[in-house]
Structure 1
Amino acid sequence: MSGDAVTLGALRRLAAKRLAEAETVDTPALDARILIASVVGMAPNELVLADYRAVSMEEITRIDALLERRAAGEPVARIIGAREFWGLSFRLEAETLVPRPDSETVIEAALGFVDRTGGRDRPLRLIDIGTGSGALLIALLSELPNAIGLGIDLSVGAARAARANAARLGVGRRSLFVSGYFAESARQADVVVSNPPYIESAVIATLPAEVRDFDPRLALDGGVDGLDAYRAIIPTLTRLLDPGGAAFLEIGFDQGDVVRRLAEDAGFDAAMHRDLSGHDRVVEVSRGLLEGGTVAL
């Protein structure tokens, strides 16, 4: 690109065209707006209002570098180092999974349980197993003003990233993030949430490059059948859950029946929550749960 009289509008169109030519990019216009906005300090939806603003050579150079990374397959969230989840902006590190919209089903299910069992103003205790960026726990704390939470992750870097996100998003004083094995760290809680690794080990090599090459394997690999984390988490819920509490475990779209059986074999009731696509997405685990066994959100 030339720096002579380049405007944001012209640059945005050129960038979208460049990304459209890359086989790795499904949403070139949107990705171009987000990347350009991250450099010029605007919200992506504000760019069109500044179409005639001149772009400096320094900005063009930085934007070129970001476009090259995106065309090579790196996800936009990884490039800009942040992703929105539940209306909050979470900063990412190499050790953290990129929060995805399907995981908001965990938040909706947990808040539904809280609403049914006494309301959101109670002094609840929360645990997030495999917290990553802290997205699940921090989103819940943003909705539960008197709750406190513990986030646990095997990765030291993930726990550090979650701690920084909590401080920046205003819930640092009501949360603690630690690295280690959850059974050694956690005490009884009213609500337990988790988005554990649930991809079968052999399947990881077939995942889209944006996931396979950039998300941490520790957050993806669920073992030979994808169920290792559930086998570790569910038995400990006998100790972790308050007698009136519930756990909300994200699952793969085809894992509902088998995770439900794991919960029932451990003496729990289990119900399914579906995501917006109609897939089983969250298993709610407790004692004396819901009639019918399925909750459609």
Structure 2
Amino acid sequence: MLREGQIQLKDQSPSAAEDCEILLGQILSKNSAWLITHGDRLITSEQTLAFRAHLQRRSAGEPVAYIIGQRAFWEHHFEVNPSVLIPRPESEILVELVVQIVSEQAFTSESQSIADLGTGSGAIAISLAHELPQTDIIAVDVSVDALAVARRNADNIGVTNITFIESDWFSQLDEQRFSIIVTNPPYIATDDPHLARGDLRFEPIDALTAGPEGIDDIHKIVNQSKAYLQPLGHLLVEHGFEQGAAVRKLFSDAGFKDIATHRDIAGLERVSCGSIG
């Protein structure tokens, strides 16, 4: 079956072999190693039909994560569907950096509060809640459908130190103050040709694009966040790999200190951060 799938997907997907292993593995509840060592094992007609249905969807370009309904991020698997972005490994640096900040600074239990703006599936917020169980996490999204996915993920993973709020960035956060604000906002330009390619064609456009240069939402978040940060608080923003200089300028213009940009696992500029006095 794997060979059949690879032949069908070879012109549609650059990762045809991996895609087939994930799709068939999901149907059989087996991992890739088992599939490789049991390649001659017969599967039922129902399983064959299910696999071929998966292949048809993948042949049309639908992301594997949406077909199987989940994606791995940090230490867990998260439910995903077309109402949320698919978590990417490059976003894990946000979790890593926040955990590092909390471990290095002497926050009191009362002051350890983190806001995740645009939480989507909740991958970042829930990963932080799991890593920092003594910290209060506020996860914000404007999409009711996205928040429903995030709540299910929190329940499935078993974190309880997290609150979900329907809000357009800061609009419903009243006068709350956070020790850290983290966000993976939309940062693709509205006319970027990549939007018509690959997985991006199937993901929610409002969670991807932000104006002609892709930084409209980042600009808004950076300008407004100081009013929602505690003294010595930190803001961390994920952005496109070519946007580092522009985002650092936004931080500087807004009066942030200790501004820096961190690279992702591919060595590309991915997260910029700063703090307030």
Whether TM exceeds 0.5 here: the answer is: yes
1:15 has 2:5 as partner: yes
2:74 and 2:127 in contact (8 A); partners too:
yes
Aligned to 1:62: 50
Aligned to 2:125: 137
1:210 has 2:190 as partner: no
Larger mean Cα displacement after TM superposition, 88-97 or 174-183 = 174-183
> What one-letter code is carried by the residue in structure 2 that aligns with 1:243?
P
> Counterpart of 1:178 in 2: which secondary structure?
strand
**After the TM superposition, which residues 124-273 of structure 1 pair with which residues of structure 2 at under 5 Å, given as runs?**
124-171=112-159, 173-186=160-173, 187-203=176-192, 205-207=193-195, 209-269=197-257, 270-273=259-262
- 1:57-86 superposed Cα distances (whole Å, 9 cap, x missing partner): 111011001011112211111111110000
CA distance in 1, matches of 2:46, 2:40: 17
CA change 1:54–1:147 in 2 (3 A) is: same
> What one-letter code is carried by the residue in structure 1 that aligns with 2:162?
S
- 1:250-289 superposed Cα distances (whole Å, 9 cap, x missing partner): 010011111111111111122111112221110112126x
- 1:111-145 superposed Cα distances (whole Å, 9 cap, x missing partner): 22112213898872111100000011111111112
CA change 1:49–1:225 in 2 (3 A) is: same
2:142 and 2:167 in contact (8 A); partners too:
yes
**After the TM superposition, which residues 44-63 of structure 1 pair with which residues of structure 2 at under 5 Å, given as runs?**
44-63=32-51
1:210, distance to aligned residue in structure 2 (A): 2.5
1:127 and 1:150 in contact (8 A); partners too:
yes
Of the three residues 278, 281, 287, the one matched with 2:267 is: 278
Q: Gaps spanning 5+ residues in structure 2: where?
A: none
Q: How many aligned residue pairs are there?
A: 274
CA distance in 2, matches of 1:285, 1:185: 23
Aligned to 1:5: none
Runs of 4 or more, structure 1, over 4 Å off, are 119-123
Of the three residues 83, 100, 105, the one matched with 1:112 is: 100
1:121 and 1:145 in contact (8 A); partners too:
no
CA distance in 2, matches of 1:256, 1:224: 16
2:61 and 2:198 in contact (8 A); partners too:
yes
1:46, distance to aligned residue in structure 2 (A): 2.4
> Counterpart of 1:162 in 2: which secondary structure?
helix
1:106, distance to aligned residue in structure 2 (A): 1.0
- TM-score scaled by length of structure 2: 0.93
> Counterpart of 1:207 in 2: which secondary structure?
helix
1:121 and 1:144 in contact (8 A); partners too:
no
- 1:217-256 superposed Cα distances (whole Å, 9 cap, x missing partner): 0111111111111121112221211112211100100111
Identity of aligned residues (%): 35
- TM-score scaled by length of structure 1: 0.87
1:208, distance to aligned residue in structure 2 (A): 5.3
